[in-house]
Structure 1
Amino acid sequence: MERKTIFTEGEWYHLYNRGTDKRKIFTDNNDYQRFLKLLYLANSTKPTILYTLKKDTIFDFPREENLVDIGAYCLMPNHFHLLVKEKVEGGISLFMRKLLTGYSMYFNIKNKRTGKLFEGPFKSIHVDTDNYFRYVLSYIHLNPVKLVEPEWKEKGVQNKDRVKNFLQSYSPSSHLDYLKLSEKSPRIERWILATDDLPIEIKSRDFVDELNDWLEYQTMLKLDK
């Protein structure tokens, strides 16, 4: 299916997709790790070299010009969210084609299946204001809350400590990298991100406060009903 969206260089977009028939696209830690490695490797004007995925130093692999800037990501069992900026003409389309094709091939071979893995073309929303950027950043990083409190958006957060602890331990998300922006030795997945060129200034403490505000707001909203 032909994509109608025209991406503009220098603009940010919220990209997302899920498994066909809402099936799980990540079934174990190896799946999450493969997708994270592809987020790094596919973001290059040079071809993705699949055999390098077996190396422990994958995030040190030299890339040429990046196709996109990745501002945030979160992988869920049956879908994913990305916040990216188009850096070169056609960058987002090429990046997503390399990413989703590479992961689909891996997943199908591993699980001895055929056919499409994802539910059609990826979806995209233009993030056209700073306020909307802040909202999307929080929305993406709060996605895992539904794994411990499935009805939190309908009923509010029931156990705030459990939710906060879960978010801080959820590794297939850039949430952990934003918590450690000021650290000299961040986790290796930090190199997936390009946080130096965000449209707004983000500090770890402000990031935590903003997520907590969203959780608090959602809870108070439900209590007032």
Structure 2
Amino acid sequence: MQRKNPIVTGNVYHIMSKSIAGYQIFNTDAEYKRMIQMVRFFSYRKTFLKFSRCITFPIVQKKGFEEYLEERFGEENKIIQIIAYCLMPTHVHFVLKQLKEKGIETAIGNMLNAYSRYFNIKHKRQGPLWASRFKNVPVDSDEQLLHLSRYVHLNPVSAGLINNAKQWKYSSYLEYVAPDAILHPLCSFHDLINERPSAYQAFVDDHANYQRELARIKKLALE
């Protein structure tokens, strides 16, 4: 799970990690939700608190996982800023800003390793789950970031899993287009992407058919 290119603190990156040989790594709603919990947990500075123990604490059950993390760690202990994400059956996309030295490498490595352990125990499986290296691509401008977020949110539409990005529960799209419906947002993006929800939805919807067709052509070209 090594990084390919140097990652600079303060910069934004598109991070992607694929499963080995297209193995399906998310099979149930619970598995997707577990990964989202891990993303939230490992976005904070490394502590001696283990994720597997944290989720069993009575105070976590009482307060709620999200509120507990916010109260215990606070924004000052974030090592990454999560701008956008999308979990797919065989891979994951994140748009991240590094806030602390080696923040992205640490957060991604921890969450992928933790999910591998969870998945292997649950499915009585052995061996690696992810390809050996996560990809990182620097984002060089606000315009590139805006278009990248659309690409990430349209991934399940392009793959033919859904017809509309709003139908996919395992991405940050609803945080962009229906923020009032999200009790505990995972992402923070308004300092970088300042689009009104209705304008952003139109921006994404207008491109959906094009991205879907592009994915179909790419698939045909590889067959």
Give TM-score scaled by structure 1 length.
Answer: 0.82
In structure 1, the partner of 2:30 is 30
Q: Structure 1 stretches of 5 or more lacking a match?
A: 150-161
Q: Which one of 142, 145, 150 corresponds to residue 154 of structure 2? A: 142
- Letter of the structure 2 residue corresponding to residue 201 of structure 1: N
What is the Cα-based RMSD across aligned positions, in Å?
2.2
Q: CA deviation at 1:216?
A: 5.0
In structure 2, the partner of 1:82 is 94
- Letter of the structure 2 residue corresponding to residue 187 of structure 1: I
Identity of aligned residues (%): 29
* 2-structure distance, mates of 1:218, 1:21: 24
Q: CA deviation at 1:89?
A: 1.0
Say whether the 8 Å CA contact 2:11–2:97 is kept in structure 1: yes
Q: CA deviation at 1:202?
A: 2.2
In structure 1, the partner of 2:122 is 110
Q: Would the alpha carbon gap of residues 126 and 105 (structure 1) be closer, same or farther in structure 2, given more than 3 Å must change? A: same
- For the residue of structure 2 that corresponds to 1:44, the secondary structure is coil
Q: Structure 2 stretches of 5 or more lacking a match?
A: 217-223
* 2-structure distance, mates of 1:219, 1:126: 24
Q: Which one of 51, 58, 67 corresponds to residue 65 of structure 2? A: 58
- Tell me the alpha carbon deviations over residues 37-70 of structure 1, each in whole angstroms, 9 at most, x when there is no partner: 0111001113253222244511112325101000
Higher relative contact order (CA 8 A, sep 6+): 2
Tell me how many residue pairs correspond in the alignment: 203
- Letter of the structure 2 residue corresponding to residue 49 of structure 1: K
* 1-structure distance, mates of 2:201, 2:2: 39
Q: Would the alpha carbon gap of residues 105 and 41 (structure 1) be closer, same or farther in structure 2, given more than 3 Å must change? A: same
Give TM-score scaled by structure 2 length.
Answer: 0.83
Say whether the 8 Å CA contact 1:37–1:53 is kept in structure 2: no
- Structure 1 segments of 4 or more deviating over 4 A? 216-222
* 1-structure distance, mates of 2:209, 2:21: 33
